[in-house]
Amino acid sequence: MNQPTGKIGQEIPERALLEKLISKVRLNPGEYRTVAAMAAAAGVDLGRLEELFRLHAHRAPEVFLDQARVGYACRRLLNHFGPTVQAGESCGFLSPAAFQASFHRLTGMTPGKYQSLGREGASFTVDLPAGYRQEDVLAYHGRDPLSLSERVEGATLFKALRVEDTDTLLELEFRGKAVKVRVRPAEKADPIFMGKVHHRVVRMLGLGTDPAPFEGNACADPSFQALVEARRGLRIPLTADVWESLVWAILGQQVNLAFAYTLRRRLTDLCGGAVSGGLKAHPTPGAVAALDPADLAPLQFSRSKAEYVVEAARAVAAGELPVEALPAGAAPTAEARLSARRGIGPWTTHYVMMRGCGFGDCVPLGDAGLTAALQRHYGLDHRPDAKETARLMAPFAPHRSLATFHFWASLKGVPA
């Protein structure tokens, strides 16, 4: 077994130190067989490493290490057609059983089934964990019945999206404990393409995180038990990619939900890519970047909203705002990169971090639904302001994203 290639260096500020460690572990997790090995490479003790991960990565170091190993194994399986056990060994799992369990938990597939992606047609099946709440996921993705980019029919979700350079239609059919995924056009279904489709599906199903740690902590406090018990197993379904969440957050600024849906449909109709079934893929950054903000005025975009979404698209398309890379780094870095752009304030930033990046300890301060739910839960005679919202949400750290989602769900509406 190779050993980590020396300490990263304590002279680096802590956030940068952690980001460098994260990058090194993702590149070769087999060098870090334990969390202690990561701590040694960073030059910190275990307690400090746990604190750094909680503050900057919004997860425990062992959770990150598991995710890094499985991500590495996925890349290896798609690129090297050989025994799956070798993939598990190469990424640092101590036994085949541990590899199988972690891989299945985070991907919904066995390593062997994952390795067959794109080699056995344009479909695959994702297993769902025990207690999975498919009705919530279908309700979220079907929240706009007139949407041009997704449609729910019974227990089937149709989602149009751009994968690589192809406008693609996904059909996700929920079958009890599993989801059957079909991809059109089928001729694009090579292993790399299907691996990217699978990644999007895992995001949309909210399979990347485990709700159990939050539920255990919250239910230990009687004042929070009622909030969680009725919705055990609730997960946060992410947008198909980070860019989609950024567009949605900008469109949702200072307008009601119904009008935000309307703006999203109009933007998709204007520059989304058509797929079969009458749907259109969410517009790419390049497509929106090619617009003049004035092009959106006839669609009832305010001048500022039109400018914000086009400017954001141009920044993403030019690589100045690498939104799809943000989940792989530190949460404060993502916050700084997003909030530095014109038109992306604290609410938009934290919404994107939560729903697009999947960071687990975010609070969209100023969110009307969250403040209404907090007012009701705590029996307040007023809507809490940002400072009070932050104080009321503090007990839920480091799981404030999922706590926010529970508060939204407590209003008996569909989360935005």
**For residue 274, what is the DSSP state?**
B
pLDDT range class, residue 416, cuts 50, 70, 90:
low
Residue 100 structure tokens? 């199988």
Which tokens sit at 175?
């079958």
Q: Are 398 and 360 in contact (CB under 8 A)?
A: yes
CA distances from 411 to 97, 233, 260, 407 (A): 42, 17, 19, 7
Query: pLDDT for 66-103, tens place per residue?
Result: 999 999 999 999 987 678 989 999 999 999 999 999 99
Does 224 score more than 90 pLDDT? no
Q: What angle do CA 138, 164, 253 make, to 5 degrees?
A: 50
CA distance 396 to 217: 8
pLDDT of residue 188: 83
Max distance between CA atoms of the chain, in angstroms, equals: 63
Assess whether pLDDT exceeds 50 at residue 10. Answer: no
* Angle at the Cα of 244 from the Cα atoms of 394 and 414, rounded to 5 degrees: 55
Closest C-alpha among 279, 339, 333 to residue 315: 339
Cα separation, 236 vs 408, in Å, equals 11
The DSSP letter of residue 281 is P
Q: How far, in Å, CA of 59 to CA of 209, rounded?
A: 10
Phi then psi for 282, rounded to 5 degrees?
A: -55, 135
Q: Could you tell me the two tokens for 360?
A: 């687990």
Per residue in 362-371, pLDDT (tens digit) is 999 999 999 9
State yes or no: pLDDT of 1 exceeds 70.
no
Helix, strand, coil percentages, rounded to 5, for the chain = 55, 10, 35
Angstrom distance (rounded) from CA 230 to CA 69: 34
The β-bridge partners of 173 are 156, 180
Banded pLDDT at 218 (limits 50, 70, 90): confident
pLDDT digits (tens, 9 = 90+) for 156-180: 999 999 999 999 999 999 999 999 9
Distance, CA of 311 to CA of 293 (rounded, Å):
9
Residue 43 sits at the vertex; the CA angle it makes with 37 and 49, to the nearest 5 degrees, is: 70
Is the pLDDT at 7 greater than 50? The verdict is: no
User: Can you give the pLDDT at residue 413?
Assistant: 57
pLDDT at residue 58, as a whole number: 96
Domains and CATH numbers, the chain: 1-105 (1.10.10.60), 116-207 (3.30.310.20), 242-410 (1.10.340.30)
